[in-house]
Structure 1
Amino acid sequence: MLERDVFYIAGYDPRSYRHYYALFKKELNLYDDSLKINISKNNEKFPFWEILTPRVKTCYTFLAWNDLVRKNWTQNIQNSFKDAFNLFRIYIITGLFIKFGKESIYQLITGFYPFFYVLFSLLFSFVLGFFVFIVVKIYAFWFFALILGILALVLINQILFKFGKKLAVFWITRICVFCAKWHRIKQGAFDKRLEEFAQSIFNALKAHQNVKNYELILLSHSVGTILCIEVLARVLFLCKENNLDFSQFKILTLGECIPLVSYQKKSLEFRKKLEFISKFDLKWYDYTSIIDGACFPQVDFFTTSGIKEGFRPKFYSPKFHTLYEKEHYKKIKKDKYKAHFLYLMSSEIKGQYDFFDFVVGEKILEEKIN
């Protein structure tokens, strides 16, 4: 029987493992409703669930950091507008957007439209508020007209804010700002959590050194791929320091947005970790799609971040257009939020990209991809 450990790092999301367990279970049932899944209720530091097939036992561990996300999560209108201003200050004024545009026009468009949405919202609100003030002032006392004008401005702002949330405008802005500040934010609690992630993975590798039919997959999605770099560097350092074989260690990155950190001028330490990782020969597979506006499709984030030599992951497209019926795919393309999570879902049509085959299938990862 093949034994497999999957350590999953989610994106910048305040939702707990319960949300991801529910998503995993739902999509797994769509993939194959005969598979058994059990969630752990013991005292392990990180929650995990087991998937059993006649030939494979998969332990899927959720490396939780959503509690730390909640402390940095902004949802009110004032903080969302502040994030949009920071996006303008960090990416546009500095000219960093030019580099993003050269590497991925899709990411540039995605990063720009939240700022312009907020700018349009403010301008439209002020114009409408002023219009209400002018009209009411003709028929009523100016003070009363001023109050109605201000109320109109606030109301329109609130409506556009709620509409923007549905369009994932502030979710994208939040991600961009968080990544730009990663070099500072990760100090303290984040660093401690990353060490715990790395130690858990290292311990699993060490415990299975003499198990031939075994693999460990470090799986990450979205902003989780940035944490993946931090964790991977730590695991490889521990393996090197302890002369531990890591040939059974595989990496799977989905919808990566690593350049949001690695392109920042102040991310010197992060780039050093990329350089350190590049010295190891790894089984690393990276999947990104052009319909996912929050990723960098098929961008070699090692080379473009200034790492000139060494190992490179294998970059692929999941080719989502081949995995769904034509009409359904058209709807998915319009739903940017769903498109970003499509990597973790079961498809309608079997294709080269098959998430559940990767994590619960009978073959080892490299045999399914190569």
Structure 2
Amino acid sequence: MSAAPAQTVRRRRVFYIPGYDPFHPRRYRELYRREGAEQARISGYGLRLLPGQGGRGWSVVSEQDGMETRTEFEVLTWSDIVRASMGGSVAATYAQMVRTAWVYVTTGALFRLMRLRRGPILAALYPVVALLVQALVALAAGLAVFALLPGVVGLIGLAVTVILVLNGFRRHDRRFFAYYLMHDYAFTARWRGAYPPDLDARLAEFGDRIAAAAEQDWDEVLLIGHSSGAHLAVSVLARLLQQGRLPPGAKVSLLTLGQAMPMVTYLPEARALRADLARMGAQERIFWLDVTAPGDACAFALCDPVAVSGLVPTGAAPLVISAAFRKTLSPERWRALRRRFFRLHFQYLCAFDRPDAYDYFRITAGPRRLPERFAEARPSRSRITRSANRFTAT
């Protein structure tokens, strides 16, 4: 019987960058509390949460493989920027829809992205279709009122009914996610892939937090980016490397989950992100693990974000692996979740019935650093490296 691997982490600092999400960090704390307890029950290890400082984080004490590890979590928030971008009327959202479609069609990005993965493109088209269907339903209701009322009264009734129905759809968007997803795609399209100034400044603040942690005596500083937060995490670390702000020997690792980076890098003004990806793909100081799953329709599953963006890496980053939902979830859970696309996009942060190489709670609270945990891992055999990107300037 082989001996248990040596403990390399007793104190870990985790920074988590969420995706396009308007919610308070406590949402992620409660998700970690609930799902961590379930994973600990399934896998047979100990895991408990303690209060964090400042309301943006939490502490985790975990005993795995007979070794105790303490992890300090901090959520790097940009939810205020998200909320500001989600404002506006129903009419403004429909105007966003037209502008976003125009950008992705006229740049050719929409058609080129379909050569990589059709799933995330269909997911991107969903809010467009949903909003058009809602408009047709509202118009049909308005025409029904118009048919019942004479003359000018009927016209007024038509207009009022359309407005009321559209506002009703918007109030119940937590059921449809049409407005939410439309705002998400419009946020990127508005700047044609460039970082808006307020977000660029926020990335600099994130970099300050991570650089300060890298100077301290942590056994591992782990940066996690989920969904849209994945490419933000890449940019933060790439810029720290460029600026020489990570001390020699700093034990910094990167984990990206459910990334959709081509949705940005295939746009003409995404020069900064492409430059950051090229830098991260060429370096070997920071171990970078990229995890997606073909069952996640919102992610560009198993697409190497450096290679598919038309950039030529010279290092080993990233290591692209699959969370393999069909294998790691029980048949019952897979059947329950397979059509809940938004929920599946968050499965990377949740418990697995049959955890394999990827286990969020062993990675974030276990006794081994990310590069050591995946030292023997190989890229997924289904990894996609071909590029259809016409915009490769950095």
Whole-Å separation in 1 of the counterparts to 2:332 and 2:167: 33
**Of 103, 106, 111, which residue of structure 1 is paired with 2:119?**
106
Query: How far does residue 131 in structure 1 lie from its aligned partner after superposition?
Result: 4.2
Whole-Å separation in 1 of the counterparts to 2:373 and 2:296: 23
Query: How far does residue 40 in structure 1 lie from its aligned partner after superposition?
Result: 2.2
Which residue pairs with 1:347 in the alignment?
352
Which residue pairs with 1:291 in the alignment?
295
Which residue pairs with 2:327 in the alignment?
322
Q: 1:74 to 1:323 in 2, by over 3 A?
A: farther
Amino acid of the residue matched to residue 8 of structure 1? Answer: Y
Amino acid of the residue matched to residue 315 of structure 1? Answer: V
**Of 3, 12, 33, which residue of structure 1 is paired with 2:11?**
3
Residue identity (%): 24
**Of 270, 273, 287, which residue of structure 2 is paired with 1:270?**
273
CA offsets 1:137-169 (integer angstroms, 9 cap, x no match): 5xxx32232233333333433444456541222
1:250 aligns with 2:262: no
Greater share of helix residues, 1 or 2?
1
Query: How far does residue 110 in structure 1 lie from its aligned partner after superposition?
Result: 0.9
Query: How far does residue 182 in structure 1 lie from its aligned partner after superposition?
Result: 5.0
Amino acid of the residue matched to residue 71 of structure 1? Answer: A
What secondary structure does 1:36 align onto? strand
Amino acid of the residue matched to residue 102 of structure 1? Answer: R
RMSD (Å), alpha carbons: 2.4
Give me the TM-score of the superposition, normalised by structure 2: 0.83
**Of 335, 338, 342, which residue of structure 1 is paired with 2:343?**
338
Whole-Å separation in 1 of the counterparts to 2:194 and 2:245: 28
Amino acid of the residue matched to residue 173 of structure 1? Answer: M
Whole-Å separation in 2 of the counterparts to 1:158 and 1:30: 39
Which residue pairs with 1:20 in the alignment?
28
1:149 aligns with 2:153: no
Query: How far does residue 232 in structure 1 lie from its aligned partner after superposition?
Result: 1.2
Query: How far does residue 130 in structure 1 lie from its aligned partner after superposition?
Result: 2.7
Higher mean displacement: 149-158 or 309-318: 149-158
Which residue pairs with 2:97 in the alignment?
84
Query: How far does residue 83 in structure 1 lie from its aligned partner after superposition?
Result: 2.5
Whole-Å separation in 1 of the counterparts to 2:208 and 2:301: 30
Whole-Å separation in 1 of the counterparts to 2:299 and 2:193: 22
Contact 1:87–1:115 (8 Å) recurs in 2:
no
Whole-Å separation in 2 of the counterparts to 1:223 and 1:90: 19
Amino acid of the residue matched to residue 249 of structure 2? Answer: D
Which residue pairs with 2:215 in the alignment?
206
Amino acid of the residue matched to residue 52 of structure 2? Answer: S
Whole-Å separation in 2 of the counterparts to 1:294 and 1:23: 20
Higher mean displacement: 294-303 or 123-132: 123-132
Whole-Å separation in 2 of the counterparts to 1:298 and 1:90: 26
**Of 95, 101, 109, which residue of structure 2 is paired with 1:96?**
109
1:73 aligns with 2:82: no
Whole-Å separation in 1 of the counterparts to 2:162 and 2:201: 44
Amino acid of the residue matched to residue 245 of structure 1? Answer: G
Q: 1:23 to 1:182 in 2, by over 3 A?
A: farther
CA offsets 1:41-82 (integer angstroms, 9 cap, x no match): 36xxx8332212352111112112222222222375233322
Which residue pairs with 2:383 in the alignment?
none
Whole-Å separation in 2 of the counterparts to 1:284 and 1:90: 31
Contact 2:193–2:269 (8 Å) recurs in 1:
no
Which residue pairs with 2:50 in the alignment?
38
Which residue pairs with 2:382 in the alignment?
none
Contact 1:298–1:316 (8 Å) recurs in 2:
yes
Gapped regions of structure 1 (runs ≥ 5): none
Q: 1:7 to 1:91 in 2, by over 3 A?
A: same
Higher mean displacement: 77-86 or 295-304: 77-86
Query: How far does residue 366 in structure 1 lie from its aligned partner after superposition?
Result: 3.0
Which residue pairs with 1:117 in the alignment?
130
Q: Using CA pairs below 8 Å that are at least 6 residues apart, which structure has the higher relative contact order? A: 2
Whole-Å separation in 2 of the counterparts to 1:121 and 1:21: 35
Contact 1:286–1:314 (8 Å) recurs in 2:
yes
1:173 aligns with 2:217: no
1:51 aligns with 2:50: no
Higher mean displacement: 340-349 or 306-315: 306-315
